[in-house]
């Protein structure tokens, strides 16, 4: 089953805003292999795109899961993922590594302190292949639908559109500071930071419905779906007398700013479904799992440790029995 994960920045701040022009690649965008000067060992500043991409690639390497898309907007991040039966325990580790890395690096970049994320991440299951495909396009075209850019291909945000629609590799760099300091750090005069720069590649997995498709068919499908949304959004904005904000205006946004009329986040949906019937069926099965898990948890806490739990669920923690302070 494919899950669509959403996590938002604290107070709706624009902390995932772009900071470089993709049409004029800078050294901070991670576009050059020799990004550290061999003479004075200058340390480049990673872009927001590179921070998010490197975090996802690093977390995937440490805790493998199937990633279908990674899309960022100005104040929230969405990821589509799925797991094999032996990868279920990797989900929490993956997102812990991902979110902590992004938070640390963006706090350094924006010279700020405190929390980056406003709430825990919210994974929502897609009940069928159609809903998974819908969520992919929905997340990918968010900047265009919000009027931030006219075309998804011109988006200055972190997006997997170049890989899914054009077949480009998603490569990002990071500096292994742990390895650098363990090897002596700045105490060694001959130590070079550039020797600890590593490139990571984010691997994307096709949606389950598209696994048997040839590569060119998957790319054509993504381009066609995105183009339909772009045309529809363009007509809507034209009818409203508005136009897209554009990438250049995104660079001028203060990361500590807040929107004048912030959108309120609604309750998390139980699932994403392509039809009301599929949603009702998932709700029925979900209630069955809850009842079975509750019964299994009661038996487990009473000492029946061989009790089987529903697939994909976890055993409750065993707490010590209450002891009176008078004893």
Interatomic CA distance for residues 15 and 17, integer angstroms: 6
Is pLDDT above 90 for 251?
no
Query: The whole model's pTM is what?
Result: 0.85
Is the pLDDT at 218 greater than 60? The verdict is yes
What share of the chain has pLDDT > 90, as a percent? Answer: 58
Mean pLDDT of the 102-118 span: 92
Poorest-pLDDT segment among 41-50, 59-68, 212-221, 288-297 = 41-50
pLDDT for residue 161 is more than 80: yes
pLDDT in tens, 18-48: 886 544 444 333 433 344 444 455 667 789 9
Confidence at residue 327, expressed as pLDDT on a 0 to 100 scale: 40
**pLDDT value of residue 253:** 86
**Across 39-43, 91-95, 99-103, least confident range:** 39-43
- 139 and 128 in contact (C-beta within 8 Å)? no
- Among the ranges given (184-188, 194-198, 302-306), the one the predictor scored with the smallest mean pLDDT: 184-188
User: What residues does each domain of the chain span?
Assistant: 2-257+269-274
H or E element, residue 126 = strand 122-126
* Overall fold of domain 2-257+269-274: Alpha-Beta Plaits (3.30.70)
Bridge partners of 3, per DSSP, are 81, 125
Give pLDDT, residue 318. Answer: 79
Q: Provide the mean pLDDT of the chain.
A: 86
pLDDT of residue 55: 96
Determine the number of helices (DSSP H) and then strands (DSSP E) in the chain: 9, 6
Task: Report the candidate in 51, 250, 218 with the shortest Cα–Cα distance to residue 144.
Answer: 250
The Cβ-side half-sphere exposure at 311, using a 13 Å CA radius, reads 7
Has residue 149 got a pLDDT over 70? yes
Decide if pLDDT at 233 tops 60: yes
Q: What is the pLDDT of residue 213?
A: 95
Q: Is the pLDDT of residue 266 over 60?
A: yes
Under the banding of pLDDT at 50, 70 and 90, the label for residue 320 is: low
Please report the pLDDT score of residue 177 as a whole number: 86
pLDDT tens, residue by residue, 296-316? 999 999 989 899 999 878 889
Average pLDDT over residues 58-82: 95
Q: What is the pLDDT of residue 42?
A: 61
Q: For residues 6 and 207, what is the distance between their CA atoms, to the nearest angstrom?
A: 18
Q: Note the pLDDT of residue 32.
A: 37
Residues 6+ apart with CB under 8 A from 200: 53, 54, 57, 58, 61, 171, 172, 173, 174
The pLDDT of residue 260? 80
Stretch 59-74: mean pLDDT: 95
Tell me what pLDDT residue 21 has.
54
Judge whether residue 282 has pLDDT over 50. yes
Give Dmax over CA atoms of the chain in angstroms.
76
On the question of pLDDT at 202 being above 70, the answer is yes
Q: How far apart are CA 64 and CA 46, in angstroms?
A: 24
Amino acid 19: pLDDT: 84
């Amino acid at each position: 089953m494919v899950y669509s994960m959403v996590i938002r920045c604290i107070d709706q701040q624009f902390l995932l805003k772009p900071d470089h022009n993709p049409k004029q690649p800078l050294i901070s965008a991670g576009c050059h292999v020799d990004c550290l000067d061999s003479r004075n060992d200058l340390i480049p500043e990673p872009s927001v795109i590179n921070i998010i991409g490197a975090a996802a690639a690093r977390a995937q390497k440490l805790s493998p899961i199937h990633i279908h898309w990674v899309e960022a907007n100005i104040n929230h991040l969405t990821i589509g993922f799925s797991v094999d039966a032996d990868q279920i325990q990797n989900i929490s580790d993956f997102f812990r590594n991902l979110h902590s890395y992004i938070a640390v690096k963006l706090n350094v970049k924006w010279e700020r302190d405190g929390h980056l994320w406003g709430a825990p991440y919210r994974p929502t299951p897609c009940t069928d292949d159609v809903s998974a495909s819908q969520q992919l396009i929905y997340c990918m075209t968010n900047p265009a639908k919000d009027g931030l850019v006219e075309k998804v291909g011109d988006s200055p945000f972190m997006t997997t559109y170049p890989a899914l629609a054009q077949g480009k590799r998603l490569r990002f760099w990071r500096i292994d500071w742990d390895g650098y300091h363990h090897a002596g750090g700045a105490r060694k005069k001959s130590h070079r930071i550039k020797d600890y720069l590593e490139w990571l590649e984010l691997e994307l997995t096709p949606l389950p419905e598209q696994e048997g498709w040839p590569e060119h068919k998957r790319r054509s499908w993504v381009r066609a779906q995105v183009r339909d949304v772009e045309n529809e959004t363009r007509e809507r904005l034209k009818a409203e007398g508005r136009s897209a904000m554009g990438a250049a205006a995104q660079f001028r946004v203060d990361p500590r700013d807040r929107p004048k009329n912030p959108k309120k986040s609604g309750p998390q949906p139980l699932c994403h479904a392509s039809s009301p019937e599929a949603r009702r069926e998932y709700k029925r099965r979900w209630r069955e799992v809850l009842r079975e898990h509750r019964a299994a948890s009661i038996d487990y806490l009473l000492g029946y440790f061989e009790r089987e739990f529903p697939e994909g669920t976890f055993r409750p923690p065993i707490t010590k029995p209450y002891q009176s302070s008078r004893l």
